[in-house]
Structure 1
Amino acid sequence: MLELADVLEAEDRVSDVARHTPLDYSHTFSDITGAEVHLKLECFQRTGSFKIRGAANRIRTLSDEEAAAGVVTASAGNHAQGVALAASRSGVDAKVVMPETAPISKIKATRSYGAEVVLHGVDYDAAQERAHELEREEGRTYVHAFDDETVMAGQGTIGLEILDHLPEVETVVVPIGGGGLISGIATAIKARSPDTRVVGVQADGASTVAQSLRKGSPEAIDAVDTIADGIAVRRVGEQTFPVIRERVDDVVTVTDDEIASAVTMLLERGKTLVEGAGAVPLAALLEGKFVYEKDEVIVPALCGGNIDLNLLTTVITRGLVASGRYIKIRTVLKDRPGALDDLIEVLSDARANIYAIQHDRTNRDIAMNAAEVELDLETRGEDHVEDLLDSLRERGYDVEVLV
């Protein structure tokens, strides 16, 4: 099983490739949670993700023959970029298989770091199957995204940095996809600070580790469904699972709405952009998914900042909806002069800001003398939303909340 010595060796190998990322005390999230919150800003890492650490460590352990034959891997995006840059820095040819659904920004970034990109399948697991075919066909070395001890050791260098910066840390919160990141971090943390708690976080729609721990062995799930594409993995690693079971204190899950809220809050309050997978540790803390004490020193590891701009728009909207900052409603008006003005007056009195109005007389599900109206509204929180809906219903409007 992976040991501290492996992580220390990895630290030497990757020191000239991976940045030593900041550990930043957050007044905002400390005030909100009552804990002492320090954000590990691995989203500022080269390639925008922690993956460069494990990829560089693996590639630098290749034999001369393996390096000459090149490497191949599968990734939803972050590992792809890590392998591409690490291979380029070591003069090794790299081929990366990415799901056809991978964000275009991650595909372009991977190519820009020098790797050949092959698009295949609908998710990581399908891409991985094709990558193994290329491994056999072309004699390349497969660089696994998580189920490899040298990769796990490289990721564990984050744990060393956290303890170097903040030896009094009491809880470290880490995202889990296939388990490589948390296996490495937990190995480093538990070896040097056994009393420090390590909490893993998965998305509800990709909770393979949480389910595997309940059953006592690695289990695959049929499909993944989450905005956190970086941890959308159907099966925990065979090598990572024993490490998680032995060294991780708790594993919890968060919903996509909770992830979106955390991304939005980090943007608005922390001026920091993270992807969905990078936000899950903070989401778990904000939503009270695990028990902690007042003033407990907690480090959420924000381990990725590569988010597609189209997805970011959706995530921000979901975050605003979840926090009561945005609402879309539908109602039906009499098709007469002044009816829309009357509705707008109610909204104005309730101090709701109108983003957009769609006015439709052609819907066959409403009366001939009626018009359907959809409104996108900016609101100021959950209480404001409830007051607004009460005001509309008191004035006789039959209101349907769309989002």
Structure 2
Amino acid sequence: MRIVFVTETLVTGGAETFVLRVASALQVRGVQVSICVLRPDKIDPALVTALAPNVTLIQLGMPTIYMLCSRFDGLLYLLGSSFSIVRSLQAHCLKQYLAARGATVVHSNLLASDLVVADVAETLSIPWITTIHGDYLAIEDTGNSRAMRLQDFTRAVHKIENSVSHVVCITDRQISMVQRVFPRIASENRFSKIYNGYPNREQQWRRSMPEVIARVPDDAFVIGMVGRGRREKGWDALISAFRKLDLPNAWLILVGDGDYLTEVRQIVDDDRIIFAGNVADPLRYIARFDVGCMISRIPSESLPTVVIEYLLLNKPVVATDVGEVRNMIDGSGDDPAGLLVKLGECDEMSAEVSIALKRLSSDKALFETLRANTAKALQKFDMDKCLDSYLTLYRAPRSASVRDDEVDRSIC
């Protein structure tokens, strides 16, 4: 069995880290795995090294060529064209690699990757599986995407439906979407729900404390959040909530980077708020938290990886009730591992977050109960269960032609 993962980028994000972790775990099991990255200009080497150092990584094309073609695609999009030079180039390179490697199954992630694989897999008679992430719901809401050079979401998913073998969802809302936009796949029962797996590697967070947070007092009540540095991730709501707490012994650690956080960092004047920046090993920082926050203001959130990481390190969670978060922190229906706040305007969310954090800082019994429930909630994300489910899908379809020789690297 030769599995080729296809992803648009390998930067910090739930879909990307899922690809790296699952590919690495499959390789440990003895499965031959490689990862094709469609955008060679969007690869974080530190992230790849941290999560999948031994997995073969293939960059399709050169960054300079990609950037030039992307500009032409931008003009085509403005003219109303659905043709993409970038996707055509990516499909050409991917087709060459899949044929040379003798891939038995392709596993794609993110809509941009699915569109490229749809152009390739059918002509090579290679079955392919896609895992749906949050981008599908976000683009369905708008109907198009300038960043992706996508004119018509409905037309795009129809193209995917014509060749995809199986669709994997990671949230209940995605299940509803599949039934809505992939009617034939739904009627043929070629979809399923599989939670992302997360490996339990204790050594990842039992190393020395990062220097940037070493100055936090041992007895401090530490609130933290990890995420992308976008405004929509709710950084402003969390910072505002922290200030409303008025707890002298409370500290706030913010792990992430981006233009928005850079701006915020320049105007926030509070020694108890630490901006740790972008890191490849967030578990080392989460280990110092008492409470982990996920205050996203993005309605299309799906299965935030950071919530799994909070559960892994037994941190009670304060999170927005979006996507699959409610099910993520609920171990068995009666044993929540955190508190939820409603999605709304910044001021409204800030007030709710402040109340939740105040409860956890003052009610020790509640804090300990939620912390004890994290282990049960985490069971849903066991990596072995995740791999077993995917291996069942990989073995169901068979490629028409499989080569015995293996090519480790292909350059287009």
Compute the TM-score of the two structures, normalised by the length of structure 1.
Answer: 0.33
Compute the TM-score of the two structures, normalised by the length of structure 2.
Answer: 0.33
Bigger Rg, which one:
1
